[in-house]
Amino acid sequence: MATEHIVVNCTINGENTTFLANERDSLLEALRDRIGLTGAKEGCNNGNCGACCVNMDGRIVNSCLVMAAECEGTEIGTVEGLASGDQLSPLQNAFLEQAALQCGICTPGFLVAAEALLEQNPDPSEHEIRYWLAGNLCRCTGYDKIVKAVQQAAGQSVV
Amino acid sequence: MQAVKYARAESVEEAVSLLQDGGAGARPLAGGTDVIVQARERTRDIDVFVDIKHISEVVAIEHGSDGSLTIGAATPCYEIYGDDSIAENFPILVDSTSLIGGTAIQGRASLGGNLCNSSPAADGIPSLIVLEAQVEIAGPNGRRTVAVEDFCTAPGQNVLDSGEFVVKLHFPAPAESSGARFLRFIPRNEMDIAVANAATQLRLDADGSVAWARVAVGAIAPTPLLVADAAAAIVGQPLSEDTIAAAAAASSAAARPITDMRGSIRQRVHLAGVLTERTIRQAAERAA
């Protein structure tokens, strides 16, 4: 069946954005291939790994499981929106200081997810951090450092 | 992704008409966490998504003045477990919705979608069954209501006819001194598909005996099962080790699972009993 190109109007990282997508595109494909925001990564493309995690209307979603056409009128936040110019966010700095990344493929998803956690729960317990981030997989298995980075960003003492 | 088209429905009538026009390849789109994967991996033949999330009654949570509850079929899990009144009066729905996928899945996935995906291992359905949920369906001939335990007919199959979709789920008010609990067994703590799961709702009399109960078990048969024999084993007397063991044995006897990558027949038959026992005990704690 022929699908058509569609025009989608939304807000991405605070900027009004209009983009052209194919009707069959996922939000992840639209971000990476149409808009040029390649921060969100394609890991599994079926909702298991969390590498494509973005913020949509205040909640985190797997962008591989959102149709681009669904984004009309929504507010999307990606990893590119975390820093202000050259100024990294406290969470991003904490990831650097705690060496919370190895190959880095999972990092954008972890950052977007952890940022959303801290927004709604500024002082999470270790259990709450691990539970919230359960949908983000790190094949380098650096989970302890990631959890410590989130704790540092929350202002908690990190051993 | 296969060449899937997208249509946004603004009303129930428009959704029905779009689904009818789309024929067998049209699927309602709620959170998309199952159907988008199925379209991409071609495990279902889908060529039109009909987005039902812009119909207000399909995404609403309504608390009746009598204590009843109505949840729009496409309401995402995180809105359900974030609802204070649901957490207080229907905590079993928090058990289920906070276990379906991880946080990003819960931002989109819905109980209606979980039901319509009709997986034998669905983590929402046993809870809906013990809560006696009624499924309100809209279609070309108007609306009809189906008891949730009659909804699924086989793995991935259900009673929906062409042009029909689930609009909302109705829950009667929980009775005084009643409690309900859902549990799932997986080899890790989160983000996995059930090896087996179970739910129990029960009501206690003033003298402590079980006045009424419902038990449902999942991932142990082609559809989630209402196990009437398990409930019958505990009703009419106070809970005891003997009655709980009899209920567990009834669930194991009702199980007719398969062996797959997640678990064996023997393990699942055993788990049906273990989870029945634990949900009965914990439902009773919530009822007290």
Dihedral angle of Cα B187, B188, B191, B195, to the nearest 10 degrees: 10
When the pLDDT of each residue in chain B is averaged and rounded to a whole number, the result is 96
> Is A128 touching B (CB cutoff 8 A)?
no
> CA-to-CA distance for B65 and B67, rounded, in angstroms?
5
Closest C-alpha to A109, from A65, A153, A43: A43
Q: Do A24 and B2 touch (CB under 8 A)?
A: yes
B218: three-class secondary structure by DSSP? strand
CB pairs under 8 A between A and B: 95
The neighbour count for residue A52, using CB atoms within 10 Å, is 30
Residue type, B11: S
Burial (0-12, 13-18, 19+ Cβ within 10 Å), B206: exposed
Strand partners, B71: B61, B169
Q: Do A24 and B189 touch (CB under 8 A)?
A: no
Question: Which of A6, A67, A133 has the CB atom closest to B49's CB atom?
Answer: A67
Return all residues near A153 (Cβ < 8 A) that are at least 6 apart: A90, A91, A93, A94, A114, A118
**Closest residue in B to A114 (Cα–Cα):** B103
End-to-end Cα distance, chain A = 57
> Is B45 touching A (CB cutoff 8 A)?
no
Q: Which two tokens stand for residue B32?
A: 């998309």
Taking only the tens place, the pLDDT of each residue in A51-77 is: 999 999 999 999 999 999 999 999 999
Residue type, B284: A
CA distance B230 to chain A (A): 33
> Is A136 touching B (CB cutoff 8 A)?
yes
Taking only the tens place, the pLDDT of each residue in B174-195 is: 999 999 999 999 998 778 899 9
Task: Find out whether B169 and B147 touch, Cβ atoms under 8 Å.
Answer: no
- Fold entry, domain A5-80: Ubiquitin-like (UB roll) (3.10.20)
pLDDT band for position B1 (cuts 50, 70, 90): low
Closest C-alpha to A117, from A64, A109, B192, B110: A109
pLDDT for residue B140 is more than 90: yes
Return all residues near A78 (Cβ < 8 A) that are at least 6 apart: A12, A13, A31, A37, A39, A40, A54, A55, A108, A112
> Is A60 touching B (CB cutoff 8 A)?
yes
> CA-to-CA distance for A159 and A147, rounded, in angstroms?
11
Mutate which of A61, A112, A150 to disrupt the B interface (most B C-beta within 10 Å)? A61
Pairing of strands B48-51, B26-29: parallel
Q: Residue range A10-30: average pLDDT?
A: 96
Strand order in B196-204's β-sheet? B178-185, B196-204, B210-218, B225-226
pLDDT band for position B276 (cuts 50, 70, 90): very high
Taking only the tens place, the pLDDT of each residue in B19-54 is: 999 999 999 999 999 999 999 999 999 999 999 999
Strand partners, A84: A87
pLDDT band for position A1 (cuts 50, 70, 90): low
Taking CA atoms, A103 is separated from A99, A100, A107, A112, in Å, by: 11, 10, 9, 17
> Is B81 touching A (CB cutoff 8 A)?
no
From chain B residues 191-210, the ones with a CB under 8 A of any chain A CB are: 191
Q: Which two tokens stand for residue A147?
A: 């959890």
Domains A5-80 and A90-153 share a fold: no
Task: Find out whether B236 and B229 touch, Cβ atoms under 8 Å.
Answer: no
> CA-to-CA distance for B181 and B130, rounded, in angstroms?
9
Residue whose structure tokens are 């807000």 = A11
Mutate which of B21, B59, B108, B193 to disrupt the A interface (most A C-beta within 10 Å)? B108
Question: Which of B31, B76, B104 has the CB atom closest to A135's CB atom?
Answer: B104
Domains and CATH numbers, chain B: 5-51 (3.30.43.10), 56-171 (3.30.465.10), 178-287 (3.30.390.50)
Residue type, A116: A
Q: How high is the pLDDT of residue A36?
A: 97
Taking CA atoms, B254 is separated from A145, B249, B257, B274, in Å, by: 46, 9, 9, 13
Task: Find out whether B106 and B80 touch, Cβ atoms under 8 Å.
Answer: no
Q: Structural domain boundaries of chain A?
A: 5-80, 90-153
Domain A90-153 belongs in CATH node 1.10.150.120? yes
Q: Which two tokens stand for residue B253?
A: 């006897």
- Chain centroid to CA B211: how far? 24
pTM of the model: 0.96
From chain B residues 91-110, the ones with a CB under 8 A of any chain A CB are: 101-105, 107-108
Q: Do A70 and B191 touch (CB under 8 A)?
A: no
Q: How high is the pLDDT of residue B74?
A: 98
In eight-state DSSP terms, residue A84 is B
Q: Do A65 and B32 touch (CB under 8 A)?
A: yes
Chain A residue numbers with beta carbons less than 8 Å from the beta carbon of B103 are 60, 113, 116-117, 132-135
Burial (0-12, 13-18, 19+ Cβ within 10 Å), B187: exposed
Q: How high is the pLDDT of residue B80?
A: 98
With residue B138 as reference, give the H or E element that holds it.
Answer: strand B134-139
ipTM of this predicted structure = 0.94
Residue type, A81: G
B257: three-class secondary structure by DSSP? coil
